[in-house]
């Protein structure tokens, strides 16, 4: 036996490993549910404002909330230049570019097609992770990626051909690629791992808040915003549970699992997106959605329980 080679796991180690996998999978489901509901919430908010202001207002609600939490918990603020640089790049890719293009894309597309396109994020994550992190999914993971993508497509089929635009498709794809890059950067940047997940997300949303408000000010779109509780209630959800809480959970998942497994969130999101669309907005939820949802769930479980390997 070679020195330093891995030893067979004991029964207790296997139990701990299964428990950790279950916790990771539970976090993935929770994140997907929070984000899935946000599709219907954003549709409601867009009745009172436009895409750019909505993207900025989400961070305006989410940033102060997380700052209050980190101050209450007495979290340590980043002190090193490398930490701030890492936060900036992650913020730019995930909570600025990806979030901005997602909101814009949803305004051009139906919820089903948006969900299908967002579910391509694990594929982009896999490609970037193989290149930058040298991660290589096993047979189970590869199968899960394929099955999950098929399920996401099946979920979106009823929404195809309903006036969706090529521009909207391109915008959502940019959002998915940007999110995938941010997920990989979260693991690629050692300085980011020195910061607690909640502090990391608080700082990145704060940076995004500043950037997005500058963008809105440049394009001058506040005139089309109607202030009132019709906008305030969706903003509370979009800014806190959907943005602040889900991103903290996502950062936690990335600490516990490979970037490819963390990206499995994008496969469950269409399932919850369609479900909440049916409950809240009266959108259809039939046999096709049930079939697609079953494939999505199977794909996520396969990716989540796949063993990580390095190239």
Rounded mean pLDDT, 221-239: 90
More confident residue, 287 or 308: 287
Q: What is the pLDDT of residue 1?
A: 39
More confident residue, 188 or 15: 188
How far CA 109 is from CA of 153, 165, 275, in Å, comes to: 15, 7, 17
Q: What is the pLDDT of residue 125?
A: 77
| Angle at 81 (CA atoms; ends 239, 248), nearest 5 degrees | 25
Calculate the dihedral angle through the C-alpha atoms of 127, 129, 133, 135, rounding to the nearest 10 degrees. Answer: -90
Q: Where residue 4 falls among pLDDT bands split at 50, 70, 90?
A: very low
| Residue % of the chain over a pLDDT of 90 | 25
| Angle at 57 (CA atoms; ends 56, 59), nearest 5 degrees | 70
Residue 212 in this model has a pLDDT that exceeds 90: yes
Q: Are 208 and 91 in contact (CB under 8 A)?
A: yes
The crossing angle, in degrees rounded to 10, of helices 197-219 and 81-90 is: 60
pLDDT digit string, tens, across residues 35-58: 888 888 888 898 899 999 999 999
Mean confidence (pLDDT) of the chain: 79
Q: Is 220 left (phi over 0), alpha (psi -120 to 50) or beta?
A: left
Sequence-separated (6 or more) residues with CB below 8 Å from residue 194: 80, 83
Sequence-separated (6 or more) residues with CB below 8 Å from residue 110: 159, 162, 163, 164
Q: What is the pLDDT of residue 8?
A: 57
pLDDT digit string, tens, across residues 162-177: 555 677 778 888 998 8
Calculate the dihedral angle through the C-alpha atoms of 27, 187, 127, 299, rounding to the nearest 10 degrees. Answer: -10
Between the ranges 121-125, 126-130, 155-159, 248-252, where is the mean pLDDT highest? 248-252
- In the block, tokens 């000010």 appear at 217
Instruction: Write b or e for each residue in 270-300: b if 16 or more Cβ atoms lie within 10 A of its Cβ, otherwise e.
Output: bbbbbbbbeeeeebebeeebeebbebbbbbb
Q: What is the pLDDT of residue 167?
A: 78
More confident residue, 193 or 181: 181
Residue 197 in this model has a pLDDT that exceeds 60: yes
Q: What is the pLDDT of residue 134?
A: 65
Q: Which residues pair with 310 in a beta bridge?
A: 135
- The three-state (H, E, C) secondary structure of 272-292, written as one string: HHHHHHHHHHCCCCCHHHHHH
pLDDT digit string, tens, across residues 149-166: 787 777 666 555 555 567
Q: Are 299 and 60 in contact (CB under 8 A)?
A: no
Q: Which of 25-34, 99-108, 122-131 has the lowest mean pLDDT?
A: 122-131
The runs of H, that is alpha helices, within the chain are 11-45, 51-72, 81-90, 99-108, 111-118, 121-132, 139-156, 166-188, 197-219, 229-239, 246-256, 259-262, 265-281, 287-304
Structure tokens at 5: 């080679």
Burial class (CB in 10 A: 0-12, 13-18, 19+), 224: exposed
Q: What is the pLDDT of residue 3?
A: 43
Residue 11 in this model has a pLDDT that exceeds 70: no
Q: Where residue 299 falls among pLDDT bands split at 50, 70, 90?
A: confident
Q: What is the pLDDT of residue 5?
A: 45
pLDDT digit string, tens, across residues 51-110: 999 999 999 999 999 999 999 999 989 989 999 999 999 899 988 999 899 888 888 876
Instruction: Let me know how many helices (H) and strands (E) the chain has, helices first.
Output: 14, 0
Q: What is the pLDDT of residue 298?
A: 76
Residue 311 in this model has a pLDDT that exceeds 50: no
Structure tokens at 216: 């809105």
């Amino acid at each position: 036996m070679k020195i330093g080679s891995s030893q067979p796991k004991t029964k207790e180690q296997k139990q701990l490993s299964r428990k950790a996998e279950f916790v990771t999978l539970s976090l993935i489901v929770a994140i997907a549910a929070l984000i899935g509901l946000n599709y219907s919430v954003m549709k409601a908010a867009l009745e009172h404002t436009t895409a750019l202001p909505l993207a900025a207002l989400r961070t305006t609600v989410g940033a102060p909330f997380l700052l209050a939490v980190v101050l209450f918990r007495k979290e340590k603020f980043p002190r090193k230049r490398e930490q701030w640089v890492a936060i900036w790049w992650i913020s730019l890719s995930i909570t600025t570019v990806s979030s901005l293009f997602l909101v814009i894309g949803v305004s051009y597309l139906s919820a089903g097609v948006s969900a299908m396109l967002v579910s391509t994020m694990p594929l982009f994550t896999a490609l970037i992770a193989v290149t930058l992190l040298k991660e290589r999914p096993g047979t189970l993971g590869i199968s899960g990626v394929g099955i999950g993508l098929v399920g996401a497509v099946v979920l979106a089929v009823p929404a195809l051909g309903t006036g969706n635009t090529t521009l909207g498709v391109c915008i959502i794809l940019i959002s998915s690629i940007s999110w995938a890059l941010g997920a990989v950067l979260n693991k690629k940047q050692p300085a980011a791992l020195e910061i607690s997940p909640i502090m990391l997300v608080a700082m990145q949303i704060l940076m995004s808040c500043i950037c997005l408000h500058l963008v809105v000010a440049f394009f001058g779109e506040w005139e089309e915003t109607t202030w009132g509780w019709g906008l305030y209630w969706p903003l509370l959800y979009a800014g806190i549970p959907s943005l602040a809480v889900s991103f903290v959970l996502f950062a936690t998942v990335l600490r516990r699992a490979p970037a490819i497994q963390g990206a499995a969130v994008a496969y469950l999101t269409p399932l919850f997106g369609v479900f909440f669309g049916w409950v809240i907005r009266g959108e259809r939820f039939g046999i096709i959605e049930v079939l697609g949802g079953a494939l999505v769930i199977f794909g996520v479980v396969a990716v989540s329980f796949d063993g990580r390997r390095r190239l």
